[in-house]
């Protein structure tokens, strides 16, 4: 008994498709698992007259690993049919030009083939255009005969289409004047328009919710007379304690918010005991829930199970079991152990380039590039970044106050300031005495120091006069 339409009978027909051709190449070389097991006696049919259902797996008769790995030898792929080769895009012969499959194998006409019908030799384009030309009386008679047609009347040659409109041309030009001009502002915002009545506006408020700008929404509530009081507030009145007793009431849990004693409530004793155990009071240790004195245990009792398998302790695991030789550092730690790469020198200098380049001159801040990530040792510290100088945001560092300047430059700086009551000549004389080097240069910091001393002295005299006037007269 054989299977009907099984894999051993692929159903090859007279078709040129690639799938059918590939299946036909395996015809006679493969079988199915059902026939193979039946031939080996592994399947015994009890009802030979009933055809088994289903489809069996395709199985070559001599299936092996070598055949599966060398499938191109034992099961070569079939060639593409001739009629279908031109439809494949990946199969081109060497030197073949890739063209559309519709242009392949087309039969082109010969070199002398021309499309269209051959004309009479000797006739030119000028002769063709002048073939129907009429002159003189013949042309006049033809124009009179053609004038009766509507197409000639409405569409005369070299003129526009005549539609029968009678256009009246005014002296001012085409079109009809609009009349009296109107202001565009009144068109956009017609202030002279009749105002909407209040009755109509109330209807629009109900139907469309249209309110004027700033108009209050009236809900027509019927409120009690108490609500008209200026001190009226909605909601329940919160009990407020006396002035200064708010924190005391918050910490005291035995009284209400208004200072009255709490109401006594009778509850079960078990519930109250559970509350004291589960929720202990503040600043008291929580209950262990192991009885009044805890579970009975001897004094030398230790929790847990003693390990009787391993002799390793926590101390031994932390310290390890390494010998002295194993604890020594590696031979190449901090130095090269490879032959020919040992750098030995008797000099005591430092090799390499320092991280902070103090050995070279730092470029000015104004000409330093943002891409220069080299540190020259003049960068501000973290404290300077967190607490910048007083006039740093204005581009004036504190070092400018220490620069000694001539008298004219300092006078200009002092006069431009808003400080009143400053005697510049006196401050300049005292500033020269502070430096005592004979140079006519004084710093702005010295002037500020002298001026602050003068202000302190002036304030001290005023306070002493006020204290003297406040003494009682005896």
pLDDT in tens, 302-338: 878 776 677 778 888 888 888 888 888 888 787 777 7
The secondary structure element, H or E, covering residue 58 is: strand 58-59
- pLDDT at res. 88: 79
Report the C-alpha gap between 285 and 270 in whole angstroms: 21
Question: In whole angstroms, how far apart are CA 215 and each of 209, 210, 212, 219?
Answer: 12, 10, 5, 12
**C-alpha to C-alpha distance for 200 and 203, rounded to whole angstroms:** 5
Whole-number average pLDDT of the chain = 79
DSSP character at residue 246: H
Residues 6+ apart with CB under 8 A from 13: 20
pLDDT at 77: 81
Asked whether the beta carbons of 87 and 60 are under 8 A apart, the reply is: no
Say how far apart CA 113 and CA 385 lie, in whole Å.
Answer: 92
- Note whether 17 and 81 are within 8 A (CB): yes
- Nearest C-alpha neighbor of 424 from the set 436, 439, 442: 442
| Bridge partners, residue 32, by sequence | 58
Write down the pLDDT at residue 15. Answer: 41
Asked whether the beta carbons of 33 and 46 are under 8 A apart, the reply is no
Question: In Å, what is the CA distance from 391 to each residue of 329, 353, 364, 381?
Answer: 56, 36, 20, 17
E-strand stretches of 160-218: none
Tokens of 93: 């012969």
Residue 66 φ/ψ, nearest 5 degrees: -65, -40
What is the token pair recorded at 169? 């041309």
Asked if 428 and 410 count as a contact pair (C-beta separation under 8 A), the reply is yes
Residue with tokens 């139907």: 207
Percent of the chain exceeding pLDDT 90 equals 2
DSSP labels, 370-386? TT---B-S----HHHHH
The first and second tokens of residue 107, run together, are 């039969």
Query: If we measure between CA atoms, which residue out of 34, 57, 54, 31 comes closest to residue 44?
Result: 34
- The pLDDT, as a whole number, for residue 17 is 45
Q: How many CB atoms lie within 10 A of CB 157?
A: 5
On whether the CB atoms of residues 256 and 262 are closer than 8 A, the answer is yes
Instruction: Quote the CA–CA distance of 40 and 59 in Å, as a whole number.
Output: 14
Contact present, 261 and 254 (Cβ < 8 Å):
yes
User: Mean pLDDT of successive 10-residue segments in the chain (474 residues)?
Assistant: 38 42 50 81 80 79 78 81 80 75 83 81 82 88 89 85 80 77 86 85 90 86 86 78 75 78 86 87 82 76 76 82 86 76 72 83 84 85 82 80 88 81 85 84 88 86 75 53
Structure tokens at 170: 């005014």
| Burial of residue 447, with CB atoms counted within 10 A of its CB: 0-12 exposed, 13-18 middle, 19 or more buried | buried
d(CA 48, CA 332) in angstroms, rounded, equals 85
Q: How far apart are CA 39 and CA 292, in angstroms?
A: 88
Contact (CB, 8 A) for 61 and 35: no
Separation in Å, CA 305 to CA 311, 315, 400: 14, 18, 76
pLDDT, residue 141, reads 92
In degrees and rounded to multiples of 5, residue 404 shows phi and psi of -80, 130
Q: What backbone phi and psi angles, to 5 degrees, belong to 302? A: -125, 135
CA quadruple 402, 403, 406, 409: dihedral sign: negative
* Residue whose entry in the numeric block shows the structure tokens 């501000």: 380
Residue count of the chain: 474
Q: In angstroms, rounded to a whole number, what is the distance separating the alpha carbons of residues 80 and 26?
A: 15
| Burial of residue 34, with CB atoms counted within 10 A of its CB: 0-12 exposed, 13-18 middle, 19 or more buried | buried
- Which stretch of DSSP H or E encloses residue 404? strand 404-405
Render the burial of 180-210: b for 16+ CB within 10 Å, e for the rest.
Answer: eeeeeeeeeeeeeeeeeeeeeeeeeeeeeee
Q: What is the pLDDT of residue 388?
A: 83
- Structure letter (DSSP) for residue 339: T
Residue 358 tokens, joined: 């103090």
**What is the DSSP code (8-state) at residue 87?**
G
């Amino acid at each position: 008994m054989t299977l009907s339409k099984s894999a051993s009978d692929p159903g090859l027909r007279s078709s040129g498709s690639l799938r059918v051709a590939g299946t036909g190449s395996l015809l006679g070389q493969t079988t199915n698992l059902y026939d193979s097991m039946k031939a080996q006696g592994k399947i015994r049919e009890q009802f030979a007259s009933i055809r088994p259902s289903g489809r069996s797996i395709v199985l070559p008769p001599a299936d092996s690993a070598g055949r599966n790995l060398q499938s191109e030898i034992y099961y070569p792929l079939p060639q593409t049919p001739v009629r279908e080769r031109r439809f494949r895009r990946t199969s081109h012969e060497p030197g073949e030009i890739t063209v559309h499959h519709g242009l392949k194998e087309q039969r082109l006409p010969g070199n002398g083939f021309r499309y269209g019908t051959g004309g009479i030799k000797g006739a030119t384009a000028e002769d063709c255009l002048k073939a129907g030309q009429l002159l003189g009386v013949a042309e006049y008679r033809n124009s009179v005969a053609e004038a009766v047609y509507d197409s000639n009347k409405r569409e005369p040659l070299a003129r526009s289409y005549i539609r029968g409109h009678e256009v009246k041309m005014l002296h001012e030009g085409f079109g009809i004047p609009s009349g009296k001009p109107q202001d565009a502002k009144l068109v956009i915002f017609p202030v002279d328009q009749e105002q909407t009545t209040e009755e109509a506006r109330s209807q629009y408020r109900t139907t469309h919710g249209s309110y004027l700008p700033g108009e209050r929404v009236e809900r027509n509530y019927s409120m009690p007379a108490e609500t008209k009081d200026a001190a009226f507030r909605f909601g329940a009145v919160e009990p407020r304690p006396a002035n200064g007793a708010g924190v005391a009431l918050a910490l005291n849990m035995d009284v209400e918010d208004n200072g009255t004693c709490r109401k006594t409530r009778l509850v079960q004793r078990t519930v109250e005991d559970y509350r004291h155990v589960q929720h202990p009071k503040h600043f008291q240790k929580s209950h262990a829930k192991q009885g009044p004195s805890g579970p009975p245990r001897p004094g030398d009792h230790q929790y847990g199970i003693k390990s009787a398998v391993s002799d390793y302790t926590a101390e031994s695991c932390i310290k390890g079991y390494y010998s002295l030789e194993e604890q020594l550092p590696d031979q190449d730690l901090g130095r090269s152990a490879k032959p020919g790469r040992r750098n030995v020198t008797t000099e005591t200098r430092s090799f390499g380039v320092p991280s902070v380049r103090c050995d070279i001159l730092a470029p000015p801040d104004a000409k330093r590039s943002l891409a220069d990530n080299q540190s020259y040792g003049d960068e501000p510290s973290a404290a300077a970044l967190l607490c910048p100088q007083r006039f740093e945001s204005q581009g004036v560092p504190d070092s400018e106050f220490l620069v000694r300047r001539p008298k004219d430059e300092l006078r200009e700086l002092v006069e431009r300031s808003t400080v009143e009551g400053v005697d510049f000549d006196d401050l300049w004389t005292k500033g020269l005495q502070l430096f005592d080097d004979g140079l006519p240069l004084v710093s702005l910091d010295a002037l500020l120091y002298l001026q602050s001393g003068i202000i302190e002295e002036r304030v001290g005299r005023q306070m002493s006069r006020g204290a003297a006037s406040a003494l009682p007269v005896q």
